[in-house]
Amino acid sequence: MPSRTLIAVAITGPMRRSFTYDLPDDIGPLGKGQRLLVPFGKGRKLGYYLGPAEPPPSHITIKQVLKKLDEESFFSPELFDFCHWMAEYYFANPADVLASALPSMLKTAVAVRYRWAEQIGELPQAIHQLCKPGRKISSATILSLHQTGKSVVRKLIREGIIEEVWEGDADEDNRPTAGYRMTDDADLILLVGKGKGPPPQFYGEKSRTELKELGWSDHYLSKALKLCLLQPVLAEPVHPLDFIKGRPEVRGLKLNQEQQTVVDTVTPALAAGFKPFLLHGITGSGKTIVYCHLTQEVINRKQTVLMLTPEIALSGATLAYFRGYFGDRVTVIHSAMTDRERLDSWRGIRQGKYQIVVGPRSAIFAPLPDIGLIIVDEEHDGSYKQDDPSPRFHGRDSAIMRAKLNNVPVVLGSASPSVESYYQASQGRYQLLELTQRPGEAVLPDVRVVDMRIDGVKGEAGFVSFPLKKEVEKRLAADQQVILFLNRRGYAPMLRCGECGFTPTCPSCNIRLTYHKVGHRLTCHYCGFTRSNYSSCDQCFGTRILYMGAGTQKVEETIPKLFAQAQTIRLDSDSAAGRISAHQILNAFAKREFNLLLGTQMVTKGLDMPNVSLVGVLSADSGSDLPDFRSSEKTFARLLQVAGRSGRAGIKGEVIFQTYAPESLLITDASRQDYKSFYARELVSRQECSFPPFVRLTNVVFSASEEKELEETALDFYERLKARLSQSKIKAQVLGPHPCPLYQLRKSYRRHLFVKTNQQVALVRMLTEWESAESRFKLPATVKIIIDVDPDDMM
């Protein structure tokens, strides 16, 4: 029997186990994580090399690796180990993790072209007409073959009539052609034209349309290109997020005493290996400038810096600082970039063109060589947790692990740290650093709490209180700017029939629909379900419809009636469709083209607006009563954050919280900007109810279209889980199964189990072994399972 080299290959998808392949000698040695082309089922797939493998059971026929797709692995040993850790910790398929680390152009199979074989025998008439032996097949032909019948192409490949051509064309420069220019051989233009005479010569660069007008037909154009008379001019690559301009003046900013202390504390640690820091700095205390100084220290040491931020469009201010400080040495990785931009950015990082990467959670995979420091800005932010496509990783926690693997410090920063992080700091596991003042003349704003039960204006503008109304008028008259914050988009969160009391709900998710005035649309904010022209009640056909509550759209409509001087701009995910658009809205406001900004969450982050002197929070309580153990923390963070938008430069800022529960301690702490008081209370409640940081959570979610089967399956899983936990001596508490807070989402019912434990790694390992022993936990095919380790919420 010939000796074989058996290797483990991971393939993206829900099959979390690896597959064993035979590696032919001529493919040569591989690096961990290297991309391979392997036969899989009836087709071929892109696989990732995991390492050598043991022979599988004898009934399995081992296939051969077809080829390696790159000369060497894209993963450094450090990055591969990090991905491996992530797959294990978050119960993810290693291939899914490795794929998340690559720009999409490198993870979607491979670019394929087809060619007719040289020798072809008998063929059906329809195909015979198309067939040109030995020639490449145009994409149009492929398309028409696909229309002839399903999987004709695949069949022809199997029969050897069509051959596949694999090209490593991700390396090809496929920037679009912007125009054409004449080469030095322009005199030879006579060769192009016949009969009708040559097309005219021209100077400089002309686009294809311009050339057409000059008499350059497509035929002439291609002929001239072939003769090298014309030279295509490729479009300039656009620098990602170029619209965010650097602020060079930040280089001149001097650190105040506190900021200097922080820099002086972290700097020596840069040479001393892994160490986590928690930087607790009040809003406006200048955390970004501290990050810049630390980054400079790392750059001086010829190392690189990775900085994570929440969603990038909202962190324009942070990026502007980094651009101002470090210019072209900074790049960003972000989902709003085109695939091409992502690839360019990723390549630049690998090649050492950029030493600093700023990006959201996915940037944790940046292939930076020799990382010297990792920064996680706004570490409490919920957007660091990825919950839908696997890997369901936490960007902040993963950052800590990547820092550990690189043996470098990690700085977590926030104005309202997560309870978990602050707890770690209080236990001495992270070093706490504090910024308690705003630099220069800026001071924290005064916060006034308004009791809506007493001071609410009745009637149409019921969401604005008298004190807020008066204050807004005063500020607008004084030519200052105002932000109104409302954590709810749409027109009215809820409709009710004025006659029978019926409220329309989403047919797939069974939650109340939100009314949008444009087109009388009802929309589900969870699944996107929409119905238009809602004008009469579904149940009694009554036409007297009541609009309960208020969303940003309704408030926007009422503002002109309330404030004659207001020039309003609205910012929410409906008004800002793309990421750039959100930034444009903020820019227009910053340039004082508007004096009143009305918006949701999106207005709360990273915005530096020196002329804003008043922030009104229309409904400070909203969100705090959600069925989620983190809802207080999130509401508190949001209130601090939004209050921090007021009074940045010389002007004394004011904040008004409108609330129906002015006695609530959450509101009191937020109005005093008292993080420590909030933390102390929250920590007690977390301990009483056994929530993080005292335990780790794993959420096991089942979904199915049949509620009864779902219920039985979930209950059965619960029993088996309990048995296995005691068998493996893992101390864990299992809650449930309960219906999920959003128990009916996108046409399927959902039940979940909560596992609380302090042996998280052992738990996930047990689940992994169980899953491979009993394929997919022996669940019925109709029931889906998702295992979310360290979930951010319990929805």
Tell me which residues touch DNA (CB under 7 A): 13-15, 19-21, 38-43, 56, 60-63, 150-151, 154, 781-782, 784
Q: In the numeric block, which tokens belong to residue 67?
A: 């080829």
For the bound state, the minimum distance from the C-beta of residue 777 to DNA, rounded and expressed in Å, comes to: 14
Residue 715's alpha-carbon distances to 41, 345, 609, 736, 743, in angstroms, are 34, 48, 53, 8, 16
For the bound state, the minimum distance from the C-beta of residue 717 to DNA, rounded and expressed in Å, comes to: 17
For the bound state, the minimum distance from the C-beta of residue 20 to DNA, rounded and expressed in Å, comes to: 4
For the bound state, the minimum distance from the C-beta of residue 170 to DNA, rounded and expressed in Å, comes to: 20
Q: Which helix (H) or strand (E) holds 260?
A: helix 257-269
Can you give the length of the chain in residues? 795
Contact 641, 647 (CB under 8 A): no
Residue 351's alpha-carbon distances to 46, 74, 105, 366, 572, in angstroms, are 24, 12, 18, 12, 38
Pick between residue 151 and residue 543 the one whose CB is nearest to DNA: 151
Pick between residue 18 and residue 658 the one whose CB is nearest to DNA: 18
Pick between residue 13 and residue 528 the one whose CB is nearest to DNA: 13
The 3 state secondary structure assigned to 358-382 is EECHHHHHCCCCCEEEEEECCCCCH
Contact 100, 391 (CB under 8 A): yes
- In 680-731, DSSP assigns E strands to 696-704
Please give the Cα distance from 484 to 461 (Å, whole number).
Answer: 14
Pick between residue 63 and residue 113 the one whose CB is nearest to DNA: 63
Please give the Cα distance from 160 to 788 (Å, whole number).
Answer: 45
For the bound state, the minimum distance from the C-beta of residue 39 to DNA, rounded and expressed in Å, comes to: 6
Q: In the numeric block, which tokens belong to residue 340?
A: 């091409």
For the bound state, the minimum distance from the C-beta of residue 153 to DNA, rounded and expressed in Å, comes to: 10
First-to-last alpha carbon distance for the chain, in angstroms, is: 55
> Is 642 in a helix, a strand, or coil?
helix
Pick between residue 56 and residue 160 the one whose CB is nearest to DNA: 56
Q: Which residues fall within 8 angstroms of residue 431, CB to CB, at 6 or more apart?
A: 265, 275, 276, 277, 278, 425
Q: In the numeric block, which tokens belong to residue 18?
A: 């690896």
Pick between residue 62 and residue 680 the one whose CB is nearest to DNA: 62
For the bound state, the minimum distance from the C-beta of residue 556 to DNA, rounded and expressed in Å, comes to: 40
Contact 39, 63 (CB under 8 A): yes
Residue 654's alpha-carbon distances to 445, 475, 642, 644, 681, in angstroms, are 5, 10, 11, 10, 26
Pick between residue 539 and residue 775 the one whose CB is nearest to DNA: 775
Please give the Cα distance from 181 to 383 (Å, whole number).
Answer: 47
Please give the Cα distance from 451 to 454 (Å, whole number).
Answer: 6
Pick between residue 14 and residue 268 the one whose CB is nearest to DNA: 14
Pick between residue 40 and residue 202 the one whose CB is nearest to DNA: 40
Specify the residue for token string 């944790």: 364
> Is 534 in a helix, a strand, or coil?
coil
- Per DSSP, helices labelled H in 101-138 are 125-130
Pick between residue 699 and residue 703 the one whose CB is nearest to DNA: 703
Pick between residue 21 and residue 717 the one whose CB is nearest to DNA: 21
Q: In the numeric block, which tokens belong to residue 197?
A: 């005479």
For the bound state, the minimum distance from the C-beta of residue 293 to DNA, rounded and expressed in Å, comes to: 45
Please give the Cα distance from 564 to 576 (Å, whole number).
Answer: 25
Strand pairing class (409-414; 371-376): parallel
CA 481, 486, 487, 492 dihedral sign is negative
Pick between residue 71 and residue 388 the one whose CB is nearest to DNA: 388
For the bound state, the minimum distance from the C-beta of residue 148 to DNA, rounded and expressed in Å, comes to: 13
One-letter identity of residue 560: P
Please give the Cα distance from 102 to 90 (Å, whole number).
Answer: 19
Residue 787's alpha-carbon distances to 697, 716, 741, in angstroms, are 11, 16, 16
Give the CA angle between residues 591, 358, 314 to the nearest 5°.
35
CA 144, 148, 153, 158 dihedral sign is negative
Pick between residue 150 and residue 591 the one whose CB is nearest to DNA: 150
Residue burial 770-795, b: 16+ Cβ < 10 Å; e: rest: ebeeeeebebeeebebbbbbbbbbbb
For the bound state, the minimum distance from the C-beta of residue 486 to DNA, rounded and expressed in Å, comes to: 37
Pick between residue 6 and residue 188 the one whose CB is nearest to DNA: 6
For the bound state, the minimum distance from the C-beta of residue 12 to DNA, rounded and expressed in Å, comes to: 7
Q: How is residue 160 annotated by DSSP?
A: T
One-letter identity of residue 639: L
Pick between residue 19 and residue 629 the one whose CB is nearest to DNA: 19
Q: In the numeric block, which tokens belong to residue 724?
A: 């296995």
Please give the Cα distance from 772 to 791 (Å, whole number).
Answer: 23
For the bound state, the minimum distance from the C-beta of residue 56 to DNA, rounded and expressed in Å, comes to: 5
Q: Which residues fall within 8 angstroms of residue 81, CB to CB, at 6 or more apart?
A: 405
Radius of gyration for the chain, computed over Cα atoms and rounded to the nearest angstrom: 30
For the bound state, the minimum distance from the C-beta of residue 782 to DNA, rounded and expressed in Å, comes to: 5
Pick between residue 18 and residue 553 the one whose CB is nearest to DNA: 18
For the bound state, the minimum distance from the C-beta of residue 7 to DNA, rounded and expressed in Å, comes to: 10
For the bound state, the minimum distance from the C-beta of residue 788 to DNA, rounded and expressed in Å, comes to: 15
For the bound state, the minimum distance from the C-beta of residue 55 to DNA, rounded and expressed in Å, comes to: 10
For the bound state, the minimum distance from the C-beta of residue 97 to DNA, rounded and expressed in Å, comes to: 15
Pick between residue 63 and residue 223 the one whose CB is nearest to DNA: 63
Pick between residue 63 and residue 175 the one whose CB is nearest to DNA: 63
The maximal CA–CA distance of the chain, rounded, in angstroms, is 92
For the bound state, the minimum distance from the C-beta of residue 703 to DNA, rounded and expressed in Å, comes to: 11
